[in-house]
Amino acid sequence: MNEEFEKQLAELQKKVGKLEKGTKDQLTMVVFSGDLDKQIAALIISTGAAAYDMKVKLFFTFWATAALRDPKKKAKGKNFLGKMFGIMLPKGARKLKLSKMHMMGMGSAMIRGLMKKKNVASLPEMFKTAGELGVEINVCEMSMDLMGFKREELIDYPNMNICGVATFLADAAESKVQLFI
């Protein structure tokens, strides 16, 4: 019986070794929410991890993609639904609403004012810092297609890719940390 136990232990150690080799010092995060406070949390965690030399890959999908829209850019050739989503959804990080206590814009304005007063970077500044730290942003191609967003209306960001869920899954499979916001 002792021999059987040692055999099982050796098999478990081999499996653990394979798991440890397959993961990187990497954070992969699904950013699903288009709420200001949740986007701020995602960027604070991302830049913090990057500052600790972790590789960081964000997968922006559905409502989160609105934060990546550049208010100064327009895209041509949109269909009716794409135009409607473009009107209904916030155009960029400065237009996001709070998830709670939005109060017809007053809550968002208050949190932005408080952040400025406390010298906390704004969400657009956090995106800039994230880009400088090498944080990669992968934007869900299906979400962009469903909402009628086009690449040419997104912010200029040094490490941005348009991709599918398979890219996220491959990144997550080799990451030590996976988060969903």
At position 131, the amino acid (one-letter code) is: G
**CB-CB contact of 123 with 44 (8 Å):** no
User: What does each C-alpha distance from 28 to 23, 49, 102, 115, 173 come to in angstroms?
Assistant: 11, 10, 29, 26, 9
Residue 180 CB contacts under 8 Å (≥ 6 apart), including other chains: 29, 30, 32
Low-confidence ranges of the chain (pLDDT < 70): 1, 18-22, 102
Q: What is the pLDDT of residue 14?
A: 80
> Tokens 């155009």 identify what position?
91
**CB-CB contact of 111 with 98 (8 Å):** yes
**CB-CB contact of 144 with 65 (8 Å):** yes
Helix (H, G, I), strand (E, B) or coil at 175: strand
Handedness of CA 16, 17, 18, 23 (dihedral sign): positive
Residue 111: Cβ within 10 Å count: 17
DSSP string, 145-162: HHHT--GGGBPP-TTEEE
Handedness of CA 29, 169, 135, 122 (dihedral sign): negative
Give the start-end residues of each E strand in the chain. Answer: 24-31, 55-60, 136-140, 160-163, 175-180
Query: How would you class 45 by CB atoms within 10 Å of its CB: exposed for 0-12, middle for 13-18, buried for 19 or more?
Result: middle
Q: What is the pLDDT of residue 87?
A: 76
Q: What is the pLDDT of residues 61-80, one digit of tens each?
A: 999 999 999 989 888 888 88
